[in-house]
Structure 1
Amino acid sequence: MTDVRTERSGPVGWITLDRPQAINALTHEMVRTIAETLDGWATDDSVGMVVLTGSGERGLCAGGDVRAIHDDAKAGGDATAAFWRDEYRLNALIDRYPKPYLAVMDGLVMGGGVGVSGHASHRVVTERTRIAMPETGIGFVPDVGGTWLLARASGELGTHAALTGAQLGAGDAVAMGLADWFVPTDRVPALLAALGDTRTTGPDLAEQVGHLLAHLAEPAPEPTLGPSRWWIDRCYAEPTAEAIVAALAASGVQDAEDTAKTIGERSPTCVKVALESLRRARRMTSLEQALDQEFRVSLRCVAAPDMVEGIRAQVVDKDRTPRWDPAVLEQVDDQLVASYFAPLTGAEELGLEDGR
């Protein structure tokens, strides 16, 4: 039994993540099924568009199966690297998909869930949407193209989201360029039903979807980070992670001071690597470049002690007291950070920019 349901209704191909007990967290098999389905539909003239949804009431997708990653890392296996290689290729496929791809980002959308929805051509959020890239809390950094998306958010909002793992509502998602349309939850069934009744294909279908969304969508709510924008832009513009935390702590704003404490609880190494990842991604010209970089960084993370320890503390033992190594930002030197971005050897590279 697969954890992804695929079906056809007229010119619409439906992909439903169907692992509700785990908030549809992605497994390698699920990634392969989605990729194979999309590859087949891309050249099938009878398929005009793709719609992605998640089963259950809790969310579209809570990310990847981090417990499996934890177990593989502890055993020194290579299953995680194989999973990421296929997952990042799927993210790139979605970004360049030749047909409309509509993702309903209802409920929780975290980590890998952003990867299968945030690169879609049509991204729908609801009042229940909570988007997050919480990787620094488990000894990891934003991946699945998350650095590309967050680096292009207005001002320093993406940096704030990357370093803290803050959950973003619909208003923030739209304002930051992570989503396009706000459709209230009670209108989502009507949206899906109308898509299922569609019979046109080609450019006419894309135009029809646009009209349908315009009819059912409402103006997005005000971004919850709006009132905090001034101190976010000011503090996160500092040159180093240490300077960012110091600026937050000295801001005289309670929310900013609390944010400094939050960052202090994250993996110091991953906070610094995440910051460098975003700043490098800002200079890139394609998602493929960012994914290639993320693959290098991800492999270095899984080989480092903080990822196993972070997942242990947050997911396995749930004691919420990770013992990071190094323990504080000041102990993470520039040479260690740079090592996460060093090229891999030959065939180990993801190589999306080279067309692999």
Structure 2
Amino acid sequence: MKQTLRVNLGSRSYDIIIAPELLQNSKPFLDPIIAGRRVAVISDKIVSNKYLNLLSPTLDSITDSWDLFRIEGGEDAKSFGSLEKLLDSMLAHGIDRQCVVIAFGGGVVGDVAGFAAGLIMRGIDLVQIPTTLMSQVDSSVGGKNGINTRQGKNLVGSFLQPRIVLNDVSLLSSLPSDELKSGYGEIVKYGLLRGEDEFTWLEKNFSTIMSCNNSALVEVIRMGCETKAGIVSEDELDRGKRALVNLGHTFAHAFEAHAGFGKFQHGLSVELGLIAACDLSERIGLCEKGISLRVRDHANDVEMPVKLSDLSNETHWKKDALYKRMLHDKKTINGKINFVLLREIGNPCVCNEVTQQAVYETLIQLGAV
């Protein structure tokens, strides 16, 4: 059942291991990287309380010195204040250039720990051990790390590729339903990026995935990681093709920034962003009609958001405010928003010739005023 993928980046290439009960059997993978070196495990309270006992025996067997550094959970941790507090604590404990950082948690932990590892001593080794479906299928791969600002999501950050990524699918069975759905939002994205066969497979097998069947999880995480690894190998620093993995994210990040970070799960916002991107693709004549309805129907089947009020019924969703948020997106250049859209399932493209009116019409379709 174990799957091994390779991210090909020359001297910085690394493996992604996907398997059940991987934490208890992680020594063969971690020993070559951290044997005899000091380790800084960065995690949050929930993950460290639930799972550190599965990792600590391996750490005890291969290093005499490791420390746990806890950050707060949720999007609030992706801030300058939280990052500064973490770096101060690491430096106070004597973390030096020979140390290894293990990011042990979900996407937020991976982002903050990765950013800290890239900054401290101008960069030390990083290992990613993601513990959520979202982080296993997407955010732990590719080397992007960062924090949020008042202007938007992930606008300050860096690139630091990990030495290895260990995806233990056994950890996912204990996740809350919304956390699983959040990860599934990214899975739908990869289905749309890959093609008709993959998206149809998701339509038929989503219930098996959501019930945390290990074989289904290994397969779907392999699908996502394989897609991203291939794109990252071609465009590590996000200068071109890598933008395609942001399908749905221009909308999603605007939804999150407008409502307030942490108001709802990122992947739920991505799912609605995918519906929006498909609607916009149809609206400007880029693809045939019907894809957005199909994605919306699938979201309904999985009981995920299909309109803005499903994300938050307390938020006043104003189309002009959302559009202004999009203008702060990382892909906006010279005042033009670069949307990732679809010509058809499996054929994404970047388009910056989209009128404000077309975007407004898509937002109104989702329930904005």
Fold match (TM-score > 0.5): no
Q: Identify the structure with the greater strand proportion.
A: 2
